[in-house]
Structure 1
Amino acid sequence: MSQPITVAPPTSSSRWTYLDQIRKVPGPFSEDHDNSEDALARLETMSVLVIGAGGLGCEILKDLALSGFKKIHVIDMDTIDVSNLNRQFLFRQADVGKSKAEVAARFVEKRVKGVSITPHNCKIQDKDEDFYMQFTAVVCGLDSIEARRWINATLVGMVDYPDNPESLKPLIDGGTEGFKGQSRVVIPTMTSCIECQLDMHAPRAAVPLCTLATIPRQPEHCIEWAHIMAWEQEKPFPKLDNDDPEHITWLYKKALARARDFNITGVTYSLTQGVVKNIIPAIASTNAIIAASCCNEAFKIATNSNPGLGLEDNYMMYSGNEGIYTYTFKHEQKDDCPVCGTIARNMEIDPNWTLQELIESMAARPEAQLKKPSISSGSKTLFFQSPESLMLKTRPNLEKRIGELLENGEEIAVSDPSLGSVDFKFRLRFSKPYAPAPKHGVTE
């Protein structure tokens, strides 16, 4: 009778053997490979911040822990919802309602011995520069452009180079949408930052109401018609609740009937829910691929074992729609970037607009995308959103025309609370001559 085979648990030294093959042995692309004990210990002593503990963040936390990082912090303000469980694999049914950051941290600590993960259940804006200064690198797994812009502006603003080299914090950013994804590395002030690349994330164009009302061509048009027009006309419930299945079902049936009238196929309950709630489809395999790329860049920064995204090729795109395809390229830094640039960015506007119209346009402009901007020039405060006393004092300017308030070619400073303390610099270029409004009682 054969004896049962026993397998000894891995020792602490053998646990990371696969990493030592990379850390200790120079590769064909290694340039300044350092396999000294101090260099090898850097992976275990450096502190990394992960922003986001959702679908991408869960993968990033797991990958960092299995790559030898021992000191990790994670920040996320959200709690776990039952809809998260299909792709955010660190969570279980019993975790619904609990903090994502705290549950994810405890799960990874339990599975990977020796790693320490500190959770922060709050907004990234709740932390000051001293908090971010303690990290060697920041890895983002966010689904929000606003949050990316805020952390990007914060890290760029912290740089005091060359006087304080430690103030330079590489930002590794990942993002996914369906079968597509991207990872990029930002070396603040030295390479293209997220604000330089903002035009790649332009707001989606709104569908004209006339299209929804008369000639819908896509299933999404039928759903938007039900959402915007049919609901307003019929008011089946006092107030639309996007999370109420009964409300979504009503919209789905309305959209389906309209689609049939125009011979349009593709209206489903899940699509209706996605359009109404503006849900971007998340696929677990895409999250895994992009998280692996982000953590690979963090590993290369920590060990200098191979060249990574950075000063040269700094942007990696992935497409899994038809096969698997990736490519990298260098996104150029812009001299007129509002965050890391050195000159004001030109903005062409109609001088006959009111200041209110200029402010409203900034939400849709790809180069701005600001939601609550405050505007000043070198000589005057035009409009401030806060404090309330200053807002009341500057509110009369909203009805004045741009040509009345500013000169062609004048520079303005624009701030937005979602972007921290950064002031965007824009130089106004009038698209046409200013035509002053005739004064009351004066005739030609």
Structure 2
Amino acid sequence: MKLSGMECTNTINYDLHLSRLLVRQGSNPDPDFVPSPNMVPMLQDQCKILVVGAGGLGCEIIKCLAMTGFRAVHVIDMDTIDLSNLNRQFLFTPDDIGKPKAEAAVRAVMKRIPGLRYVAHYNKIQDFDDDFYLQFNIVICGLDSVYARRWMNSTLLNIAIQRESIIPFLDGGTEAFKGHCRVVIPTKTACIECNMDLYPPQQNFPLCTIANTPRLPEHCVEYAKIVLWPKEEPFGSGVGVDGDNPDHITWLYKTAVDRAKSYNISGVTYRLTQGVTKRIIPAVASTNATIAAACVTECLKIATSSYNYLDNYMMFNNVDGIYTFAFTSERKENCLVCSRCSQELSFSASDKLQVFLDKIGEETGFNLKKPTLTANIAGENRTLYMSNLAQMEEVLRPNLEKTFKELDFVDGQEVIVTDPGMKMPVHFQVHLE
């Protein structure tokens, strides 16, 4: 085996290190744990793990899984490698720029550690059906997208309910010097949707501030992107901003610099422009390593029952020294996903359907971005609105200006909402005052 072009003289005996944990009783064992030498081959050959995300946190998770002894791992990531990734996503090299992250990560770790059966998927998580996810014993997410977390969470909850198969779900997240690790046992513990308020909201700036009273360098970048790009169409009619295209970022950067000078604002840089355009979350390599180690440790506990696993949320803060705190996150009684109960909303009969759409929309606690609304009204199943298909949206848009009374709603009317970000439909009960 070669490491960085040199012969490795000391091959690590992974079996020996695993045996020390699994063939004898630990200090805090799970009541069901029975030490046995058979635990090592079970972990290596039978336990199948899915890793979602192969970025900064994902690379660390993949490495930790390999060095812990998990030999059967699949990795999903829809992104390709950019030059800016190389400072913290250590499985990648300059030769990998432009290649799929999942494929490069799997190739790198299999080259370093023998005996692995790792499979890469250069796909979106939505490309796979329930049967694909059912083959895994544990899912670990190392994502920077709340949208993808919600979809994965609702998928595994749906599998638990419809297929009666519980797949533990480990969620890791980092932002600069802060991070978290959480254990989700579908239908048993709080799910991702129960605690959406724990995730920092995406920073948005009012358009009036961006256009009239900019104060921050970010305001200048947003002005270049939101106002000047569609107006000037620097790369042709209908061409949208591509955050991975250096020519696009350069144009936005130069345009933002010019605007910043007009308002005596400093701090506009190429890196800032790219970060604002792509909504990049600041990353610190040491935070990724810490959270990845925590996630894989919990994975080992769950896979072997050798120790009690986390119940169920651990936060990490390394801003001023190191601080960690674990607590039990409670299930939300009216959770959109795991409560399986209708969400109750109250309106006036004179309110328009648009009011309902606003109340369940992206800026609210429900955060449904592209909803489709259906209801059984007077015994007839009707599609009231559909936002994710342009032709149908245009046809059904007039319904948004109709009142509940004009749509023949009754008190307690049920509206079923589907959204691409949710695997299962959400039921709303509309009470009319």
- How far off its partner does 1:292 sit? 0.9
Sequence identity, in percent? 44
Letter in 1 for 2:35: N
Note the 1:264-279 alignment, pairs <5 A.
265-279=266-280
- Cross-structure match for 1:26: 25
Give structure 2 stretches of 5+ with no counterpart: 1-6
Distance 1:275 1:97, change over 3 A: closer
Aligned CA RMSD, in angstroms, stands at: 3.0
Distance 1:216 1:393, change over 3 A: closer
Distance 1:278 1:353, change over 3 A: farther
CA distance in 2, matches of 1:414, 1:294: 33
CA distance in 2, matches of 1:187, 1:417: 23
Give structure 1 stretches of 5+ with no counterpart: 1-5, 434-444
Instruction: Say whether residues 1:288 and 2:300 are aligned partners.
Output: no
- Cross-structure match for 2:323: 325
- How far off its partner does 1:354 sit? 3.0
- How far off its partner does 1:353 sit? 4.3
Which of 425, 432, 437 matches 2:427? 425
Is the Cα–Cα contact under 8 Å of residues 14 and 67 in structure 2 kept in the other structure?
Answer: no
Letter in 2 for 1:19: L
TM-score between both structures, scaled by the size of structure 2: 0.85
- Cross-structure match for 2:4: none
Is the Cα–Cα contact under 8 Å of residues 177 and 318 in structure 2 kept in the other structure?
Answer: yes
Letter in 2 for 1:119: A
- How far off its partner does 1:209 sit? 3.1
CA distance in 1, matches of 2:30, 2:98: 48
- Cross-structure match for 1:440: none
Letter in 2 for 1:327: F
Matched position secondary structure for 1:74: strand
Letter in 1 for 2:366: A
Distance 1:408 1:143, change over 3 A: same
- Tell me the alpha carbon deviations over residues 117-157 of structure 1, each in whole angstroms, 9 at most, x when there is no partner: 01122221111111111111001111222211111111111
Is the Cα–Cα contact under 8 Å of residues 362 and 369 in structure 2 kept in the other structure?
Answer: no
- Cross-structure match for 2:250: 246
- Cross-structure match for 1:372: 370
- Cross-structure match for 1:401: 403
- How far off its partner does 1:108 sit? 1.0
CA distance in 1, matches of 2:415, 2:8: 69
CA distance in 2, matches of 1:388, 1:254: 37
Q: Report the more deviating stretch, 400-409 or 44-53.
A: 400-409
Is the Cα–Cα contact under 8 Å of residues 315 and 330 in structure 1 kept in the other structure?
Answer: yes
CA distance in 1, matches of 2:358, 2:79: 30
How many residues matched?
A: 414
Distance 1:369 1:10, change over 3 A: same
- Cross-structure match for 2:3: none
Distance 1:144 1:350, change over 3 A: farther
Letter in 2 for 1:180: K
Letter in 2 for 1:426: F
- Cross-structure match for 1:413: 416
Is the Cα–Cα contact under 8 Å of residues 53 and 77 in structure 2 kept in the other structure?
Answer: yes
Pick the structure with greater CA Rg.
1
CA distance in 1, matches of 2:197, 2:336: 13
Q: Report the more deviating stretch, 151-160 or 400-409.
A: 400-409
- Tell me the alpha carbon deviations over residues 261-320 of structure 1, each in whole angstroms, 9 at most, x when there is no partner: xxx5544332233223322222221111111111111011112222112xxx31111122
- Tell me the alpha carbon deviations over residues 226-263 of structure 1, each in whole angstroms, 9 at most, x when there is no partner: 54456677777756744324313323313431452xxx
Matched position secondary structure for 1:196: helix
Matched position secondary structure for 1:117: strand
Distance 1:201 1:282, change over 3 A: same
- How far off its partner does 1:89 sit? 1.1
Is the Cα–Cα contact under 8 Å of residues 22 and 37 in structure 2 kept in the other structure?
Answer: no
- Cross-structure match for 1:383: 385
Which of 162, 175, 178 matches 1:177? 175
CA distance in 2, matches of 1:106, 1:413: 44
Is the Cα–Cα contact under 8 Å of residues 198 and 366 in structure 1 kept in the other structure?
Answer: no
CA distance in 2, matches of 1:90, 1:200: 30
- Tell me the alpha carbon deviations over residues 189-210 of structure 1, each in whole angstroms, 9 at most, x when there is no partner: 1111111122333643633333
Is the Cα–Cα contact under 8 Å of residues 253 and 268 in structure 2 kept in the other structure?
Answer: no
Distance 1:18 1:359, change over 3 A: same
- How far off its partner does 1:73 sit? 1.0
- How far off its partner does 1:26 sit? 2.1
- Cross-structure match for 2:36: 36
CA distance in 2, matches of 1:429, 1:329: 36
CA distance in 2, matches of 1:275, 1:423: 33
